[in-house]
Amino acid sequence: MFTIEKLSHPDLTIDHWQLSPNQHWCVLTQLGCGEQYLLDLFNGDLVDYQASNLTLPAQDKIAVLSFQALQNLYEVELKRDRSDELNTLDIGRRVRDFVPLSEPNLKLLELIGLSHKLDTGFRQLSTGESRKLMIIKAISDGAKLLICENPNDSLDKESRHKLALLFNQLMAQGIQVIYLINNREDIPTDCQHFAAMSQGRFEVLTDQLSQTTETIDQQIDHYFANQRAEVNWPNQRFPLDNYCHPNLAKLVDCTVRYGDKAVFERFNLTIKPLQHTLIQGKNGSGKSTALQLISGDCPQCFANDVTVFGYRRGSGETIWDIKKHIGMVSSDLHRSYRVRCNVLTVVISGFFDSIGVYQAVSQQHIDDAKQWLAIIGLAAHSQSLFHDLSHGQQRLVLIARALVKSPLMLLLDEPTQGLDETSRHLLLGFLEQLAAMKQTTILYVSHREDEHLPLFTQQLEMYWSSSNWIRVTEANRY
């Protein structure tokens, strides 16, 4: 299927890699390993390289299913948006416009749980839904080689299972898959061929003939060896002791509806100070929407009974009265962070809740932001362009942006999407420290069970009745 020999590029070196028919590979990656250059190679975007032999399939037979590809698609859709011209909401291309509705495709959409979304615009899909659509689109476009960057990220447990079944079906039909995996638990169980990337170097780990399974397991363990970083926490400037309201947020009988479809109805949630809350639920069940009601990013917060930091929404407060106390990380923020600026500026923008920085910046802001960059291991990248970093590194910068101002409330909506094991554990360590300091209340959305830390004293499961698509919720205290 392909051969790569003696490929050299300033940020990518591959001595030898051959993909034979019916082989599927798992490439282990970590943040900053140069994975994006490997993706560029398969995309046809890598320049300034030399190779003694490079035989890749035709470009239209390769599908790169990466976070960057998703972002590119989102930006294409944004450019096509004619809402202003038409003076009405242009939802852009719908799911049915990406995938011809042939019988096999309809079956795939059903299998992956997207068949009820045919008339939803791409930009309106939830994170998990949009990732699923990309996969089905690649298959229906006739791709023979799928390069999947962390395919489990953003998918709920059932969807991960269904995706594994789908990949098995595809492999039986001769489609080949290369997984790029940066968390040990995501390694596909039946993968036989392994490689790893470190500091821009691609290295084959397995050679079925000469290596034993045990050796491979040890190599994988070695690659994913975790270290918990000690965090020198900056001083907090908004101590919770001064907070005077009984609740940080209260949502009463909230309904969010798009067209004739309710995301949820009669949704109730109370967040008391230091009541760290874990929000779970299937893809599309309304987790992000619930957080957006609190942050003010969902316009329907005004039509609902939403009180945040003592402000009843719609009673004359500004969005900044709310946002100044919130640190947020979400896919929505990540994809909206499209301005051209350096990494330091992105972290500093957390002080102003802006995308980019448009105000005077103090030396204290700069020092705090630099301190955070050092904590997340990206100090050397402070002057790099944000968009030159890999998706996972960008996510880490956005986490620093959320933490830099020591907010009263942290809304973390799948913050670890794209993060490798080390960075995920770094974040989990931050959360434990924050909980111990008792100054910030954390709302956390995650599909990963190892992120469901004991510090979450309230757990919320969002689900819906399949008969009428009305979502209901349950809250339990441990």
Q: What is the DSSP letter of 384?
A: S
Under the criterion CB under 6 A, does residue 124 sit at the interface with ligand ATP?
Answer: yes
| C-alpha pair distances (Å), 39 with each of 23, 149, 340, 430 | 19, 9, 22, 31
Under the criterion CB under 6 A, does residue 284 sit at the interface with ligand ATP?
Answer: yes
Which long-range contacts link 366-375 to residues 24+ away (Cβ below 8 Å)? 368/234, 368/404, 369/344, 369/400, 369/404, 370/344, 371/232, 371/234, 372/234, 372/347, 372/400, 372/403, 372/404, 373/343, 373/344, 373/347, 373/397, 373/400, 375/229, 375/231, 375/232, 375/400
Q: Which of 288, 393, 406, 446 binds ligand ATP (CB under 6 A)?
A: 288
CB of 450 to ligand ATP, least distance (A): 17
With b for 16 or more beta-carbon neighbours within 10 A and e for fewer, the 64-79 pattern comes to bbbbbbbbebbeebee
Q: Which of 2, 49, 233, 258 binds ligand ATP (CB under 6 A)?
A: 258
Nearer to ligand ATP, 126 or 473 (CB): 126
Take residue 61 and report the two structure tokens written for it.
Answer: 């037979």
Q: Which of the residues 154 through 213 are near ligand ATP (CB under 6 A)?
A: 154
Contact between 251 and 443 under an 8 Å Cβ cutoff? The reply is: no
Q: Which of 13, 30, 105, 127 binds ligand ATP (CB under 6 A)?
A: 127
Residue matched to tokens 């004739």: 260
Q: Which of 64, 65, 122, 129 binds ligand ATP (CB under 6 A)?
A: 129
Strands (E) in 163-318, as ranges, are 176-181, 193-198, 201-204, 249-258, 261-271, 277-281, 305-308, 311-312
Q: Which stretch binds ligand ATP (CB under 6 A): 127-135, 191-199, 229-237, 307-315?
A: 127-135
Under the criterion CB under 6 A, does residue 286 sit at the interface with ligand ATP?
Answer: yes
Nearer to ligand ATP, 120 or 406 (CB): 120
Under the criterion CB under 6 A, does residue 416 sit at the interface with ligand ATP?
Answer: no
Q: Which stretch binds ligand ATP (CB under 6 A): 282-290, 318-326, 367-375, 380-388?
A: 282-290
Q: Which of the residues 368 through 387 are near ligand ATP (CB under 6 A)?
A: none
Nearer to ligand ATP, 13 or 127 (CB): 127
Under the criterion CB under 6 A, does residue 151 sit at the interface with ligand ATP?
Answer: no
Element (H, E) at 425: helix 421-437
Under the criterion CB under 6 A, does residue 70 sit at the interface with ligand ATP?
Answer: no
Nearer to ligand ATP, 128 or 188 (CB): 128
Q: For residues 204 and 125, what is the distance between their CA atoms, to the nearest angstrom?
A: 37
Interface size with ligand ATP, residues (CB under 6 A): 18
Nearer to ligand ATP, 4 or 148 (CB): 148
Nearer to ligand ATP, 6 or 82 (CB): 82
Q: Is 347 helix (H, G, I), strand (E, B) or coil?
A: helix
Phi, psi dihedral angles at 440 (to 5 degrees)? -130, 145
Q: Which of the residues 104 through 123 are near ligand ATP (CB under 6 A)?
A: 120
Under the criterion CB under 6 A, does residue 280 sit at the interface with ligand ATP?
Answer: no
CB of 187 to ligand ATP, least distance (A): 22
Residue matched to tokens 């972002």: 71
Q: For residues 369 and 234, what is the distance between their CA atoms, to the nearest angstrom?
A: 10
Q: Please give the single-letter amino acid code of residue 195.
A: A
Q: Which of 114, 205, 263, 346 binds ligand ATP (CB under 6 A)?
A: 263
Contact between 353 and 323 under an 8 Å Cβ cutoff? The reply is: yes
Under the criterion CB under 6 A, does residue 287 sit at the interface with ligand ATP?
Answer: yes
Residue matched to tokens 């749980």: 113
Which residue in the shown chain puts its C-beta closest to ligand ATP? Answer: 128
Take residue 396 and report the two structure tokens written for it.
Answer: 């880490």
Nearer to ligand ATP, 43 or 280 (CB): 280
Under the criterion CB under 6 A, does residue 293 sit at the interface with ligand ATP?
Answer: no
Q: Please give the single-letter amino acid code of residue 296.
A: G
CB of 120 to ligand ATP, least distance (A): 5
Contact positions vs ligand ATP (CB under 6 A):
120, 124-129, 154, 258, 263, 281, 283-289
